[in-house]
Amino acid sequence: MSEHRIELTLNGDRHQATVEGRKTLCDFLRADMGCTGVHIGCEHGVCGACTVIVDGLAVRSCLMLAVQVDGCEVTTVEGLTGSDGALHPVQQALRDEHGLQCGFCTPGIVMTLAALTQASGQTYADSLLEAMSGHVCRCTGYQGIRRAALELAASTEPNKA
Amino acid sequence: MSDDRIIGKRMPRKEDARLLTGRGTFVDDVVLPGMLHVAFVRSTIARGRIRSLDVSQARDLPGVLAVLTAEDLDPFNVKLLSFFFVAPMAVPVPLLARHTVAHVGEPVAMVVAQDRYIAEDAASLVTVVYEEEEPVVSLADARRSAPIHAGMESNVAAVMGLEKDENLEEALASAPYLLTRTVRHQRISQSPMETRGVVATKQGDELLIYVTCQSPHLVSRYVSLALDRPELSVRIIAKDVGGAFGLKNHPWREEMSVIVGSVLLGRPLKWIEDRWENLVAANQAREQEMTVRVAFDRTGKLLASHCDYHLNNGAYPQGAEANIAVQMFIWAAYKIPQFGFLTRGWHTNTIGNGAYRGPWGMESLARETLLDIAARELGIDPIEIRRRNLITAADQPCTTLMGMPLEDITPAECLDKLLEVVDIPAFRAEQSAARMAGRHTGLGLAVYIEPTGAAGQMAPMTGETAHLRIEPTGKVTALMSTHSQGHGTQSTMAQVIADQLGVAYEDVTVFEGDSSRGGFGPGAAGSRQGVIGGGACRRAAALLKDKVKRVAAHILEADPDKVSLESGRVVVAGAADKTRTLRQIAEIAYGEPARLPPGTESGLEAQYRYDPPPVTFTSAAHACVVEIDADTGFVKIKRWVSCEDCGTIINPAIVEGQIAGGLAQAIGCVLLEEAGYDARGNPLAVTYKDYLLPAISDVPDFEYLHACTPSKSEGGFRGVGEGGAIIGPPTLINAIADALAPFGEVPLDLPLTPVKILEVIEGRSLRGTNGTTTATTQQEVGCPAPSAPQAPPAAPVVSSAGIIDGSWNMVLATPMGPQKVVGRFTTEGEVLKGVLESDQGSQDFSGTVTGNRLKWEMKVTKPIPITLKYDLSVEGGKLAGKLKMGLFGSANVTGARA
Amino acid sequence: MKPAPFDYYRPRSVAQACQLLAEAAGCAAVLAGGQTLMPLLALRMSQPLVIVDINKIDALTGVTGVSQGIRIGPVVRQNEIIANEVLRRSLPVLVSATRHVGHHQTRNRGTLGGSIALGEPAAELPAAAVALGAAIEVRSIRGTRRIPADEMYLAPYATALESDELITAIEFPDWPGHSVPLFREVARRPGDFALVGLVGMLTIESGRISRVGVTWFGMGPTPMKARRAEAALQGQSVAGLDIQGIAELAIVDTAAFDDRHASAEYRRTVGRRIFAQSLREALDVREAA
């Protein structure tokens, strides 16, 4: 089985590592990089708990191999909070709207919303809600998640910038 | 409620800061030096003998430390107890399978390796040769098949209510209107987003276990009892738990295997269940059938009812279960003169039954859907039929047929409040117009009561403890016996405490999740933490507040009655110069004991274990509106209104979150979820592609009304955790049935898939094989027939004293599982005297003896006041007979000489 | 759920990739988006000895116009298809179909080629390729060949690809700019398996249907070309079309099956309806235009 040297930028810091070919990105981030905020809910790409941002796009880290992020920029939930500890607007919106209970699915949802709202221009409620269909939450019934998504969409409207 | 009260406010949660930023600590986040990883080898067949098990190739794989089997773990003699701390008598549960396997996914061997990848590689190298046997899979199979477990007479795992009540049968037969329906509920996987998992390590005589669970204290007690190693100190830690819903009440086979494995190997071991394992091998719930007969008079008044209930227990249930709670609650909120039941749990070659949010939910499901059907058939408004039968405030206090006292249930009042915002006539007008346009909308409602906050009647259901201290800094610390898996108890308990002590919410820190802190509590089981934990916080805070007042009054030379605590300060009425911060008083209380009132313990610490009334009922009424696409059979939920009476609300956002979560699971139950098996016992839904969990598009925006009738328990709280999952399904089914009423009746056969719904619309079967099965008419094997009392056999010549007197080890098959008691009998002629001794104490009795037959009665108060009637015989040196437990029916009794 | 061991390669050129596939002699799997392959690896339902990751081969990306058609690289991401201006203009039905594939997050990685190569019976993109008359360009060390989409799919998850072949492009022929798209998917939620669906295009000239292609998904072991319905529509005048009759013909060319999610008869019943509705809508649209 092959082993590979990789270099990546993770949450703004440059790292190097040696990984087995078969090691998944989520296992690499959790075990090798200490990003335990990346949660493993299903390991087959349905629940979305493991979502991270790779080169600007929200992806399911259980469906990528670690070796595939060689040369990439990866952001996990740990990379969203400001250095002063301030919550990212997505995190704040979820908090304000009581969008979490056990918190296990939460980092994945945070990363999808962060990826979509950091893209330039307006973020439409439709696209945020559609992206939320790629996340499973067993606790909240999605009520606060929906409200947070709508609030985030409203806050990116041009006249509210 | 004044604006500065913290109770009743949507305070932001304390948990959120860490959970939103990925800084929670779930069990898989725990890493210990030298930790090894576990993977299980699991049975690929549903039933059979293990002919050979070869672990040699696996053991030789580099990176593998050990491959353990039953042989290695059995010497630890672990007892896998039920939630009620009772060891299964009839069907002991092994850790790893020994010579037989009884369901697909059963753990057969345990690989320990340096990482999970290698452990799985090794697991695939273990060779098991099975001799396959015919599996028993469905309830119908179980009824007609020979027992799957050796030594049992049938597949009946538990049974209650065997005696036929002739009066009831007469009432049903002669009723002006008798409705009979069979309700089928599919098997459900609790499926919390975080699977099971454990990290265990033995450090000298200390067992340190991290496990995702519903109560570290309960797990600690469980592990101690299961291992029976009193010299070991057991500490359980669970900081963050990613949901549980009944799955994680207590450890089961894999968790205990890992714990024992860590002791055996002397290394920290971690096992994290993957989702495939969770869907295949973790205990599931809810596979039930119930045939309900309900008799009404022509005005829709209830006359009598009988339920024949079956629950698939699987091969190794977490406690053999006939789900008696269904019978206790089905008609509890309604006035009904007569009721009877027969309830049976069945063993099959499937994964065992465990708890799931509102395990007795079939009671509301069956009742509320049948009431609507009756209303339709009798031509009565569905609200009217409920109003004619519901217990209202004016009817209370009263006692249900099953012996439960009711004094403050409010389902009728919740219904009234609900109807203030749900305009039924307006909906009916819209519905007519929509129907003319070819659109099918429907409205459904349901009403229920739920027992919450139960304590004091069953072993694990204790009170809850709050250990509070005002630190020398003036901040407040609480160690709670409560435990959150998303419930937000760190926040709600802080709200109660802050409210009572007049401090800022931010200044209260709540610690949970470590069995070394706080005291015993069963955690989130039965919607109880708000009620009981809240009560404990109030009582402990009251003690502390009283002490602060006395101490401050003494130090400040004031009248204690004039001292109050507000905004983190101690204030003396009419003496503004005497205001002090809580910190100033606390510093003195800890650091200058000489300044305290004589005889006062220094410091500011108080503890209270609160025992609430035996049960606190929560009531609710829900309504929902659906639209059904006649082309596809898809159901769209347009509106859902919940009116809950959960008493005094601590945090409305948290209450609403609990209701919403339960309702989402209800929607999943009715429309999407199904964990089934094929005829060979292979699970059909092994990934989330097949086990469909509700997504955001499946749930509407819920509307909430709160009827807040304070309960009798401290603080007036009522539980709300399970309600949505219980009342949700019938609300939705009734809406679907209302929408499809012009086409026909909707089968009570969950889940209501698009195929089943389209069948009602099309008026024909859309399935190749006959989809719904009618109740089996085949001979039921081995199930004891309901028996009429028999005349005792002719008295033998041998004296009764010789046969009966002495000590007997007896086993009573009660709803809580088999109970061991020791009976000591003395006979004098026809008089029987004796005492029954058990772990719960002893009780004297006297009764009668006739030949080899002994009968007596005893009054007990737990779980509810009932009279127990024993009717036993001694034959061939063995004791056997029945124990009649009021309306609980009868339980079998067996015994052998001690 | 961890994958079994394999050797991982990430070639930089098509030639290198083909060489690796040839050497692996049937024991290799091609990794594109990974949205389907990774779960199979995790469940150990697929245990290739070699993984050939094609994500960094530039020649496999890009959307380019070619003579009388559009050429799309297999590694083009599904979200890139949705955002692509050229495709939105010239192949709107491909864009519509792609919107229904999985979820936003899976479409960020999932590729056109991956879906085309997998041949899932309920998938949108293989059916779209068949309906629109696409051709799949395929290469190995033995050379290049083109497989017409309607010869590609043999059985569930079984295609005409040899184990050492790599998809290098999917070419869609041009359809006249005024052609009308047909797309309808019956799925309970976004991203669910389609219970039944149809995709296609039709072109109307002077009141007659001059060109038509319609294919079912979720109605058989492979995408099911509604040949009889196409034949019945071809050349017909739009006025007075027996839409119900043509929907019946469309059902004849299906092999609907029972599975966990729906029954065969459900699929036929609903399929018949959505075919008629889609056709009616398509013709109304045209008439309105």
Tell me the CA distances in angstroms from C67 to B898, C70, C71, C90, C174, one per residue in order. 95, 8, 9, 14, 9
**pLDDT value at position B324?**
94
Contact, B232 vs B281, CB < 8 A?
A: no
Residues of chain C neighbouring B765 (CB-CB closer than 8 A): 265
- Strand, coil or helix: B881: strand
Q: Are B466 and B511 in contact (CB under 8 A)?
A: no
- CB contact set of B421 (below 8 Å; sequence gap of 6+): B641, B703, B705
Rounded average pLDDT over B769-774: 38
pTM for the predicted model, two decimal places: 0.93
pLDDT at B2: 45
Q: Which residues contact B166 (CB under 8 A, 6 or more apart)?
A: none
Supply the angle between the helices B216-227 and B253-265 in degrees, to the nearest 10: 60
Domains in chain C, CATH or no CATH each: 7-53 (3.30.43.10), 58-173 (3.30.465.10), 181-288 (3.30.390.50)
b or e along A149-158 (b: 16 or more beta carbons within 10 Å of the residue's beta carbon)? Answer: bebbbeebee
CATH topology of domain A3-160: Ubiquitin-like (UB roll) (3.10.20)
Q: Is B115 left (phi over 0), alpha (psi -120 to 50) or beta?
A: beta
**Can you give the three-state secondary structure of C119-146, one letter per residue?**
CCCCCHHHHHHHHHCCEEEEEECCEEEE
Give pLDDT, residue C98: 98
Lowest mean pLDDT among B5-19, B216-230, B880-894, C40-54: B880-894
Q: Is the peptide bond before C126 cis (omega within 30 degrees of 0)?
A: no
Q: How confident is the model at residue C142 (pLDDT cuts 50, 70, 90)?
A: very high
CA end-to-end distance (rounded Å), chain C: 54
- CA proximity to B628, closest of B726, B733, B727: B733
What span, in angstroms and rounded, lies between the C-alpha atoms of B50 and B108?
Answer: 9
User: How far apart are the C-alpha atoms of B810 and B481, rounded to whole Å?
Assistant: 35
Answer with the residue of higher pLDDT: B898 or B275: B275
Q: Which residues of B190-225 are buried (b: 16+ CB within 10 A; e: fewer)?
A: bbbbbbbbbbbbbeeeebbbbbbbbbbbbbbbbbee
Residue B83 has what pLDDT? 86
Q: Which pLDDT score is estimated for B766? A: 96
Residues of B in Cβ contact (< 8 Å) with C189: 695, 697-698
Contact criterion met (CB < 8 Å) for C4 and A22: yes
Residue B545: φ, ψ to 5°: -60, -40
User: Chain A residues with CB inside 8 Å of C10's CB?
Assistant: 67-68
Of B561 and B777, the structure prediction assigns the larger pLDDT to B561
The nearest alpha carbon in chain C to B762 belongs to C269
Find out whether B110 and B40 touch, Cβ atoms under 8 Å: yes
Contact (CB, 8 A) for C124 and C190? no
Q: Which residue of chain A is at minimal alpha-carbon distance from C35?
A: A63
Tell me the pLDDT band of B859, cut-offs 50, 70 and 90.
confident
- Is B89:B245 a contact under the CB 8 Å cutoff? no
Question: Residue B81: how many CB atoms within 10 A of its CB?
Answer: 20
Collect all residues of chain C within an 8 Å Cβ-Cβ radius of residue B631.
270, 273-274, 277
Chain C positions in Cβ-Cβ contact with residue B685 (cut-off 8 Å): 260
Read off the tokens for B745: 């009746």
* Residue A118 main-chain phi, psi, to 5 deg: -90, -15
C288 contacts: CB under 8 Å, gap ≥ 6 = none
Residue pair A122/A158 in contact (Cβ under 8 Å)? The answer is: yes
The number of C-beta contacts closer than 8 angstroms across A and C is 98
- Is the separation of the CB atoms in C140 and C162 below 8 Å? yes
Say what the alpha-carbon torsion angle B521, B527, B528, B533 is, to the nearest 10 degrees. Answer: 90
pLDDT tens string B586-595 = 999 999 999 9
pLDDT in tens, B414-459: 999 999 999 999 999 999 999 999 999 999 999 999 999 888 878 8
Shortest distance between the Cα of B15 and any Cα of chain C, in A, equals: 27
Position B224 scores a pLDDT of 94
Q: Which of A138-152, B78-92, B126-140, C19-33 has the lowest mean pLDDT?
A: B78-92
d(CA B150, nearest CA chain C) in Å: 34
Integer CA distances (angstroms), B897 to B29, B253, B303, in order = 52, 33, 46
* pLDDT of B457: 77
Structure tokens at A124: 């439409």
Do B476 and B636 contact (CB within 8 A), yes or no?
A: no
Lowest pLDDT segment from B256-260, B496-500, B717-721: B717-721
Q: How confident is the model over B350-380, as pLDDT tens digits?
A: 999 999 999 999 999 999 999 999 999 999 9
CA–CA gap between residue A121 and residue C19 (Å, rounded): 44
Provide the pLDDT for residue B814.
75
Distance of alpha carbon B349 from alpha carbon B153, whole angstroms: 16
Calpha distance C214→C251 (Å, rounded): 12
CA C217/CA C200 separation, integer angstroms: 11
Q: Residue B799 has which token pair? A: 């004296």
pLDDT confidence of residue B694: 98
Q: Which residues of A touch B240 (CB under 8 A)?
A: 102-103
Question: Taking a C-beta distance cutoff of 8 angstroms, is the pair A59, A65 a contact?
Answer: no
Give the separation between CA A3 and CA C139, rounded to whole angstroms: 28
Q: For residue B796, what pLDDT band results from cuts at 50, 70 and 90?
A: very low
**pLDDT of amino acid B798:** 54
Q: What pLDDT is attached to residue B865?
A: 67
- B725-741 pLDDT, tens digit per residue, is 999 999 999 999 999 99
Residues in chain B: 898
On the question of pLDDT at B782 being above 50, the answer is no
Element (H, E) at A86: none
- The residues pairing with B167 across neighbouring beta strands, listed in sequence order, are none
Neighbours of A121 (CB within 10 A): 7
User: Any residues with CB less than 8 A from the CB of B20 and at least 6 apart, and which?
Assistant: A77, A87, A91, A94, A95, A100, A103, A106, A110
Q: What distance, in Å, lies between the first and last C-alpha atoms of chain B? A: 63
Rounded to 10 degrees, what is the CA torsion of C50, C56, C62, C66? -60
For the segment C158-178, the average pLDDT, to the nearest whole number, is: 96
DSSP H helical ranges for B503-579: 534-556
- d(Cα B472, Cα B583) in Å, to the nearest integer? 6
Task: Check if A42 contacts B (Cβ < 8 Å).
Answer: yes
The pLDDT-based confidence of B864 (bands split at 50, 70, 90) is low
The pLDDT of residue B775: 32
Is some CB atom of chain B closer than 8 A to the CB atom of A73?
no
- Please tell me whether the interface predicted TM-score (ipTM) of this complex is above 0.95: yes
Return the ∠ at Cα B217 (arms to B211 and B219), rounded to 5°. 45
Confidence of residue B799 (pLDDT cuts 50, 70, 90): low
Q: A98 vs chain C: nearest CA distance in angstroms?
A: 24
Residue C246: in which H helix or E strand, if any? helix C243-252
- pLDDT cut 90: percent of chain B above it: 83
Identify whether the C-beta of residue B174 lies closer than 8 Å to the C-beta of residue B484: no
Closest approach of chain C CAs to the CA of A43, in angstroms? 7
Task: Give contacts of C43 with chain B, Cβ < 8 Å.
Answer: 276, 687
Q: Which residues pair with C8 in a beta bridge?
A: C51
**Tens of pLDDT along C34-91?**
999 999 999 999 999 999 999 999 999 999 999 999 999 999 999 999 999 999 999 9
User: Structure tokens of B774?
Assistant: 């009618």
pLDDT digits (tens, 9 = 90+) for B194-235: 999 999 999 999 999 999 999 999 999 999 999 998 889 999
Supply the pLDDT for residue B769: 53
pLDDT over threshold 90, residue C166: yes
Q: What is the pLDDT of residue B455?
A: 85
pLDDT at B822: 93
pLDDT of B779 over the 70 cut: no
Mean pLDDT, chain B, rounded, equals 92
The shortest CB-CB distance from C105 to any of A2, A43, A112 is to A112
Please give the share of chain B, as a percent, with pLDDT higher than 70.
95
- Taking the C-alpha atoms of residue C241 and residue C246, their distance in angstroms, rounded to an integer, is 8
> How much is the pLDDT for B884?
85
pLDDT > 70? residue B597:
yes
**How far is C-alpha A148 from the chain's CA centre?**
16
- Low-confidence stretches of chain A (pLDDT beneath 50): 160-161
Mutate: best of C184, C260, C273, C281, partner B, most B CBs <10 A: C260
Q: What are the b/e assignments for B630-662, b being 16+ CB within 10 Å? A: bebbbbebebbbbbbbbbbbbbbbbbbbbbbbb
**How far is residue C39's CA from residue C41's CA, in Å, rounded to a whole number?**
5
List the subunits that have 3+ CB pairs under 8 angstroms with C.
A, B
Q: Are B318 and B250 in contact (CB under 8 A)?
A: yes
Which tokens in the block code for residue A15? 């790292």
What pLDDT, on the 0 to 100 scale, is given for residue C287? 61
Write the burial class of residue B283 (CB in 10 Å: 0-12 exposed, 13-18 middle, 19+ buried).
buried
> For C255, how many CA atoms within 13 A lie in the half-sphere containing its CB?
9
- Give the residues across from B637 on adjacent strands: B626
- A67 membership: H or E segment, kind and range: none
The pLDDT tens digits of the residues spanning B42-92 come to 999 999 999 999 999 999 999 999 999 999 999 999 999 988 888 877 889
What DSSP letter does each residue of B74-134 carry, written as one string?
GGG------TTS---SSSPPPSS--SEE-STT-EEEEEEESSHHHHHHHHTT-EEEEEE--
Please give the structure tokens belonging to residue C83: 């955002």
Task: Flag whether pLDDT at C251 surpasses 60.
Answer: yes
Average pLDDT over every residue of B878-893: 82
Select from C35, C44, C108, C189 the residue whose CB has the most chain A CBs within 10 Å, as the one to mutate to test that interface: C108
Q: Does C269 touch chain B (CB under 8 A)?
A: yes
**How many residues can be counted in chain A?**
161
3-state helix, strand, coil in chain C (%, to 5): 35, 25, 35
| Rounded CA separation B860/B878 (Å) | 26
